[in-house]
Structure 1
Amino acid sequence: MSNSNASNFTNPSTFILLGIPGLEEAYTWISILFCTMYTISVLGNFTILFIVKKEPNLHVPMYYFLCMLAITDLVLCMSILPKAMSIFWFNSREIDFNSCLAQMYFIHCFSAMGSGIFLAMAYDRYVAICHPLRHSSILTNAVVAKIGLAVVLRGCLLLLPYPLLARQWPYCRTNVIPNLYCEHMAVVKLACADIRMSSYYSLSLAIFLSGMDVFFIAVSYIQILRAIFSLPTKDARHTTFGTCSSHLCVILVSYVPALFSFLSHRFGHNVPLHVHVLMANMYFLVPLMLHPIIFGVKTKQIREKLLRLVIQKGT
């Protein structure tokens, strides 16, 4: 590349989000799917926040953590979907350089927060089932607030190098990103510099955060299952396990797509680009849509409060 062309892309003022290459003709149907998932996620999470706020008997650690997850999901939705829909509907592909870095930071930062909240939820279920008489004294409001603050600080501080490192690289190849949003490595790979620092940090952080959270969640549930199977009756075991079912379902719908997406990017070199892009977006959007549905259907207290609100509105 000539020096004149290279200088055009050094620290570009904008990036071009290519969307889903090869599926442009299906944008109308894809946009309907994405918009539906976005609407369900936003309405579902706002409903959970409203119900928990209105019901004093739900002001306990389990539902505090659930509200934190709802807020995290809402921020992720707002970070991804508006720009994606502008690409589908208006072919508005340009994104400001700083806006791209901000979007990258928010997406990865709040994803890390979500993983930390899953761990906090697992700890809450462990204390509630294995130490029920001490639950209220262990998980006080002050402790819940400290856990929430730790989750936020962990995400904010550990992900801060992403935009800081990405900002310092010179960009002299192209400013076209083959995706609907500014994913970290998709942006960094456009740099004409040695990006091993960003690459190694990204991989190490993904393994450290996800690995640590999954490990401690697994340890919590091993202890929970031991406590459940030690209960004297089948009904008691079923009832106790039911209090964990929604959390387990949410963990599965969150980590399994993430693992599948990670493996496809690392080993699926023959997979078409549009499949990679679709999977990268489904990895975010499907869990964000399913979280409020799962908690609404499988959590008795929320289900009852929601039905009561619907009945009151209908009368």
Structure 2
Amino acid sequence: MKRRLFSTALALSAVASFSACAQTSERTYVPSTPSSRIGSLMQISVVDRGTGAELPIYRHRGEYWVAGRPGARYAIRARNAMGERIMAVMSVDGVNVITGETAGVGQNGYVFSARERSDITGWRKSDSQIAAFEFAAAGNSYASRTGRPDDVGVIGVAMFRERMPEPPPPPITPFPRRDEYGGYGPERERRSESSSYQGDARAKAGAADSAAPAAAAESSGNLARQSAPSPSLGTAHGRRETSYVGKTTFERAQSSPDEVVRIRYDSRENLVAAGVIPVPPPPRWPRPAGPSPFPGSEPGYVPDPPSRY
């Protein structure tokens, strides 16, 4: 299935990354039920391409996490849940997966038709090729190798609704007035034309006024990137694969995203150590039977012991 690219840049923004929190000790173990998809406009999941399974998504202290396996290829699976086109600007490790730029929400993205589902499997190299997403050590990630290690370990999807064309206003029909001869004279027609022209001028002025705040919002939409320590797992620039796309146009309904999904990832060992993935306590085996203080419980008195001879 072909994907379509968005080719017009808007306001720039960035998705920040934060460091993992240490696990706090708890007396009672409460098992969590991880989900596999998150998102409202689009359902986002991470797929292990080796097994075809969607990785469990764990929620820990307000953030979503998945556990990756070093060397495993993965895909970002997106399902458009709406009955309209949605554009998704995707980033991995703080890098736009299409352009390779340091990611911003105003950059190029993939356009999904209504109810469409597709797997984004790698860094876009051309209209026909990608370099596969592959879990690897943070130092071998594409972001680190290109001098951008601060946001390694996070997947981001910024979603935009499409601006729908507004229907044209109904024509203004002036109330007719009869001239002194009982008809509709040329002066009345000239007045009608003049009124219509002034109405168009006012409409254009109103459009210019409404465009000014939008331009101001675009210029002030840049957000400062927040640095964070690099997790131990990142996404490498994997082997080349065939993947075709086409191009289309898409006008966003607004410059800021309608929804942003962020999924952090690391190795399972690190997530267990950080308390993201809860581990049940070891099972309690039944104690072996020991000497019983009342093995017989028969009534009576203490008998004599048997004789030795």
Q: Which one has a larger percent strand, Structure 1 or Structure 2? A: 2
TM-score, normalised to structure 2, is 0.24
TM-score, normalised to structure 1, is 0.23
**Bigger Rg, which one:** 2
Q: Which one has a larger percent helix, Structure 1 or Structure 2? A: 1
